[in-house]
Structure formats: C-alpha cells, structure tokens
Amino acid sequence: MKKLFLFALIAFLSINLYAQKIPYMTQIDKQELKYMDNSPLSIQDWNEYMFYQEREYGKTSKEYLAIIPNIEEFNSHYKDKYQLLKDEKKNNYVLGSNEKYLNKKDKMPIVGISPKQLQDYCNWRTKVYNYKVGKKYKIVFSIPNAQDYEKTSKFRKIKGIKEGKDIGLRCVANIVK
C-alpha cells in the first residue's frame, strides 16, 4: 500500500513539475493540462513568425504572402503610430513606426489577422516549440474556445480579457503525453 501511495505521489508531483512551466502562459485547467497566453499576440510575435516563414519559403511564396496582416485594417487601427508597408525594392513587407512609438511597437497587439492566419500561427508555434523545447511531452497550440475564456476570468496574469471576450489574439496550449 505504501508503494502504491508513493508511486501516486511521485506521478502527481512529476506531472505538476512539467505542467507548471510554459513561458508567458498561465495554466487554466489542471485536468486537461491547458494553458493560455498571458498577453495577446504582439507585433513582435507576428514579425518573428513572418521572418521564419520568409526564411523557410521565400518572400514571394504563397505561404509567406498568406500571413501578411490585412494592411488596411492594421494601418487604420494604428493610424499614424505604425504602418505596415510593402517595400517594393526588397519585395518585402516592413513595419514602419513614428519615432515616438518606435520602442513600444514590440508589445502592441497585432491586428488584421484572420482566424485562419491565427490557426496557422498556432500550428507553426506548435512545430517550433516542440522542435526547440519539447523533449518528453508534446505541446499543441490552438485558438481558444468559449470555455477557455470562461476559465480565464479568475486569473489576473492573463491580460486583455473582458467579460469572456478577448481584446487581442492569443493561443492556448495543451500538454499531450
């Protein structure tokens, strides 16, 4: 009986050890081992994604062009603070910024992203995270559903959620054995 109790205790502790540490995420469901991003996806997050896609597929590939945010929506949202522009010389998209906002752009939430683009980002994040970090357990990122938002209401670390609705875009993570 003691061995069974000890085994159960060790198993419980080991699950909690690996389950508590996904950077910049908060555990929202202990049964499902589910986490949510603490902050909405930022312009910096999306720039990193665009960089990887450009490097892997090329500037003119359909994969890269498919992840460009809606330029009109992006520019309209940020007005004269930031602009997403096409650099004709380099055949690339760049984020321009008013000098005053230059250092703050990294943390600003990304806008102009479709649900398909967000799901593709979550799929890419799964691939990159498991390649770089995943050793023992696989982590799968996806778009949060209504139940996920309900669970987040009691967590102060998760910013930007009001009355069950997300102000920005984010992913949830499931740990799979």
Q: How far apart, in whole angstroms, are the C-alpha atoms of residue 93 and residue 91?
A: 7
- The two tokens of residue 58 are 């090329």
pLDDT, position 81 = 65
pTM exceeds 0.85, yes or no:
no
Q: What is the pLDDT of residue 73?
A: 86
Q: What is the pLDDT of residue 42?
A: 86
Q: Which residue is associated with the tokens 């930022």?
A: 42
- Please, what is the end-to-end C-alpha distance for the chain in angstroms? 27
Mean pLDDT across 74-89: 71
Confidence category of residue 12, pLDDT binned at 50, 70, 90: very low
Q: CA dist 71 to 60, 76, 79, 85, 98, Å?
A: 17, 8, 12, 8, 17
* Gyration radius (Cα) of the chain, Å: 19
Is pLDDT at 117 greater than 90 in this prediction? Answer: yes
Mean pLDDT for the chain overall: 76
Question: Would you say 59 and 111 are in contact if contact means Cβ atoms under 8 Å apart?
Answer: no
Q: What is the pLDDT of residue 158?
A: 77
Query: What is the pLDDT averaged over residues 83-91?
Result: 67
Q: Do the Cβ atoms of 93 and 87 come closer than 8 Å?
A: yes
- Check whether 13 has a pLDDT greater than 50: no
- The letter for the amino acid at 147 is Q
Give the relative orientation of helices 115-132 and 43-57 as an angle to the nearest 10 degrees. Answer: 80
Judged against a pLDDT cut of 60, whether residue 14 lies above it is answered with: no
Over range 48-62, report the average pLDDT. Answer: 90
Percent pLDDT > 90 in the chain is 19
